[in-house]
Amino acid sequence: NSTNTSADSVLWDFGDPNSGTHNSSTEINPFHIFSASGIFHITSYSYFNGMVDTIVNDLFVTAIPILNLGNDTVMCEGEVVTLDATSQNSICNTTTYLWQDNSTDSTYTVSTEGEYFVNITVNGCSNTDTINVTYNALPNAIISGYYEVCYGEKVFIDVNLTGYSPFEITYTNGTYTNIVYGN
């Protein structure tokens, strides 16, 4: 912001050549979105009656933390997953983490179904990510009955399944092994 209200005109140079034509402004109080993180040398020129007043200041722009907890996931009952919120661009001492239960570690261990989220703050810039974890019950197979057959006869054995499809069933008669896939 320019506090010089008596200036005939102003010129701002944001020190951000990658922003193209948006790198400068003649507005008294301009708005600029920086093209990247880093240190930018900002210069303000105030013109009054043929004289120039120049002010130079440095601005450090911090990147928004990169955060990815992964895709929503389905786990089997009893499995545990560790969520890691460590950001690729947060290697500094000013990184803070805040999970949905107010814990503050960079990792979080999940053993129950639910929605989990974390807010990470690096140098005052924040980002949030959420993941949904669903747990499926372990499948169960019950083989029906006791069968006696003569050599060479076919027998059909019922297998009752519980759990979530698709299923993969592996069975053997001691000599041959077969795998069946289905719903």
| Residues 78-128: tens digit of each pLDDT | 899 999 998 766 555 678 999 999 999 999 999 999 999 999 998 888 999
Q: What is the pLDDT of residue 133?
A: 96
Over residues 27-47, mean pLDDT:
92
Nearest to 12 by CA among 81, 50, 59: 59
Tell me which range, 3-7, 61-65, 131-135, is most confidently predicted by mean pLDDT.
Answer: 131-135
Q: HEC states along 128-155?
A: EEEEEEEEECCCEEEECCCCCCCCCCCC
Mapped onto helix, strand or coil, the DSSP state of residue 23 is helix
Q: How many CB atoms lie within 10 A of CB 70?
A: 11
- DSSP code at position 18: G
Does pLDDT of 173 surpass 70? Answer: yes
Q: What is the pLDDT of residue 146?
A: 75
Count helices and strands in the chain by DSSP H and E runs = 0, 14
Q: What is the mean pLDDT of the chain?
A: 88
- Which of 64-68, 98-102, 137-141, 144-148 is predicted least confidently? 144-148
Q: What is the pLDDT of residue 33?
A: 93
% of the chain residues with pLDDT over 90: 50
Q: Going by C-beta distance under 8 Å and a sequence separation of 6 or more, which residues neighbour residue 123?
A: 62, 92, 94
The residue type found at 60 is F
Q: Is the peptide bond before 166 cis (omega within 30 degrees of 0)?
A: yes
| Residues 72, 73, 78, 84, Cα dihedral to 10° | -60
Q: 167 or 52, which is more confident?
A: 52
Q: What is the pLDDT of residue 25?
A: 95
Q: What is the pLDDT of residue 93?
A: 60
Sign of dihedral through CA atoms 91, 93, 95, 101?
positive
